[in-house]
Amino acid sequence: MEIQEMEITIDNEGKVQVTVKGAHGPGCVALTKELENAVGDVQERTHLAEFYEQPEPVTTEQHRYVNGK
């Protein structure tokens, strides 16, 4: 099984960005679901090129959140 990683960055304004590596397709969203619920509404979701590669892609997805809930 491939290692799955989340890189979480919080900027000076308190906005959170999450990058997921090692998850395939919708697995990215499943990994970040609880974090999304805790941090706030998703403001933007971008699938990077790795998300679409075949076979066995390394999925990377970025999320930006609005402050707090």
Query: What is the rounded distance in angstroms from the CA atom of residue 34 to the CA atom of residue 56?
Result: 25
CB 58 within 8 A of CB 28: no
DSSP states along 2-63: ---EEEEEE-TT--EEEEEEEE-TTHHHHHHHHHHHHH--EEEEEE-GGGG-SSS--EEEEE
- Res 49: pLDDT: 67
Q: How confident is the model at residue 69, as a pLDDT? A: 53
Tally of structural domains, the chain: 1
pTM over 0.85: no
For residue 41, the model assigns a pLDDT of 85
Mean of pLDDT values over 15-31: 79
User: Can you give the residue range of the structural domain that contains 27?
Assistant: 5-65
